[in-house]
């Protein structure tokens, strides 16, 4: 397996593409492709050329999820050599740019911005940002959907799809058992230096924090020796990192309770401002989305009550540990 590091100046920086069968004589599979900007395309082409390959030599592209910094060049690769492009069924319509799927997504985003209490000025800044990055995604590919547990053959062993929703509805990792142990190609489900956004990154996900905590439990239970994330460097202790992220969300939920205790009933935008301060660009979506995910989790646990667009504490001294799996308190 070869890792190709790709730039990303718009979102979270330093994407990874992974090449299996990095040999002109082998069947070649690529996990994720980066954005479709000219500089990133050149980086991916150079990385493949180091293996004696070009876009036309790629036989299969496996996508971890629908975000532009993971799927941008999939259509260009497919156009060059008729590669099969696969993504989880929950994300397939977005990757194929299905108009109905994108209309539903956009309508849901705008409804939530209103529900979260995002003021007009930052709302317009966000919508302008979202409308100004068409260059991140190239031609849409034709996609073959996969499901949890599906397997894909490579010269370095079968890759098994592992559905890991939360950050995105269809987010999936790929598991391979090899000479160096059991590895997870985790996409954005598990990252080494920061926590994947939940709540704003994919507004289709219901109960986003609860779903993501289930994903972290699945990673802990997976027995992985190493994780290869969608951004930055490998993770040598995937279970330990998953527990750290779960504990982080337990701590953040406590901070949300503190905010409501201090300021009284508040909407997601107000809570977000207390947690993260001033926000710009994509974080105008991610900040209140994250606050919403925690408020929603607290509401499901009966700790807060929703009053129209605001949330108020229903308990003055809630037992928050009961809302989290054991891994959140065992890091």
- pTM of the shown model: 0.96
Strand-strand pairing, 310-313 and 304-307: antiparallel
Extended strands (E) in the chain = 2-6, 15-20, 29-31, 60-62, 84-88, 143-146, 151-152, 159-163, 172-178, 181-187, 226-229, 304-307, 310-313
Q: Give CA angle at 56 (53, 184), nearest 5°.
A: 65
59 close to 26: Cβ distance less than 8 angstroms = no
Gap between the Cα atoms of 14 and 307, Å rounded: 41
DSSP assigned state of 55: G
170 close to 88: Cβ distance less than 8 angstroms = yes
pLDDT digits (tens, 9 = 90+) for 42-55: 999 999 999 999 99
Helix (H, G, I), strand (E, B) or coil at 235: strand
At 219 the pLDDT is: 98
At 171 the pLDDT is: 98
**Residues lower than pLDDT 70 in the chain:** 9-13, 331
At 233 the pLDDT is: 95
pLDDT digits (tens, 9 = 90+) for 151-209: 999 999 999 999 999 999 999 999 999 888 999 999 999 999 889 999 999 999 999 99
User: Residue 85 contacts by C-beta under 8 Å, 6 or more apart in sequence?
Assistant: 60, 61, 63, 74, 75, 77, 78, 95, 141, 142, 143, 144
Question: What is the sign, positive or negative, of the torsion defined by CA atoms of 12, 14, 16, 17?
Answer: positive
Helices 238-263 + 208-221 axis angle, to 10:
160
The C-alpha R_g of the chain, in whole angstroms, comes to 20
DSSP alpha helix (H) spans, 117-237: 120-130, 208-221
64 close to 187: Cβ distance less than 8 angstroms = yes
Instruction: Tell me the residue length of the chain.
Output: 331
Gap between the Cα atoms of 272 and 284, Å rounded: 9
Gap between the Cα atoms of 132 and 126, Å rounded: 10
Q: Which two tokens stand for residue 326?
A: 């054991």
Gap between the Cα atoms of 146 and 64, Å rounded: 11
Bridge partners of residue 304, in order along the sequence: 313
Identify the CA nearest to 285 among candidates 162, 115, 152, 141.
115
Q: How far apart are the first and last CA of the chain?
A: 31
Gap between the Cα atoms of 217 and 326, Å rounded: 9
CATH, domain range 2-99+132-242? 3.60.15.10
User: Residue 216 contacts by C-beta under 8 Å, 6 or more apart in sequence?
Assistant: 190, 242, 243, 245, 246, 325, 327
H/E element holding 142?
none
């Amino acid at each position: 397996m070869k890792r190709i590091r790709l730039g990303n100046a718009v979102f979270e920086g330093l994407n990874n593409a992974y090449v299996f069968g990095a040999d002109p004589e082998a069947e070649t599979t690529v996990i994720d492709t980066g954005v479709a900007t000219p500089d990133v395309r050149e980086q991916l082409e150079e990385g493949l050329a180091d293996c004696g390959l070009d876009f036309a030599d790629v036989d299969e592209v496996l996508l971890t999820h629908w975000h532009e910094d993971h799927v941008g060049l999939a259509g260009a690769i497919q156009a060059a050599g008729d590669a099969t492009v696969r993504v989880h069924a929950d994300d397939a319509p977005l990757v194929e740019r299905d108009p109905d799927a994108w209309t539903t997504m956009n309508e849901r985003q705008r409804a939530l911005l209103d529900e979260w209490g995002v003021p007009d000025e930052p709302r317009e800044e966000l919508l302008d940002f979202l409308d100004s990055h068409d260059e991140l995604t190239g031609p849409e590919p034709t996609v073959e959907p996969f499901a949890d547990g599906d397997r894909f053959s490579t010269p370095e062993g079968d890759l098994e799809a592992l559905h890991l929703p939360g950050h995105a509805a269809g987010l999936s990792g790929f598991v391979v058992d090899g000479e160096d142990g059991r590895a997870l190609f985790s996409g954005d489900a598990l990252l080494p230096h920061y926590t994947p956004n939940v709540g704003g990154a994919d507004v289709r996900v219901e109960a986003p924090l609860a779903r993501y905590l289930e994903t972290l439990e699945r990673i802990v239970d997976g027995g992985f020796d190493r994780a290869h994330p969608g951004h930055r460097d490998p993770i040598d202790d995937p279970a330990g990192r998953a527990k750290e992220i779960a504990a982080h969300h337990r701590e953040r939920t406590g901070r949300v309770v503190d905010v409501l205790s201090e300021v009284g009933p508040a909407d997601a935008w107000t809570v977000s401002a207390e947690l993260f301060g001033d926000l710009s660009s994509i974080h105008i979506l991610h900040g209140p989305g994250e606050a919403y995910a925690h408020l929603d989790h607290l509401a499901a646990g009966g700790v807060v009550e929703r009053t129209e667009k605001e949330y108020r504490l229903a308990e003055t001294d809630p037992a928050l540990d009961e809302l989290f799996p054991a891994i959140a308190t065992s890091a």
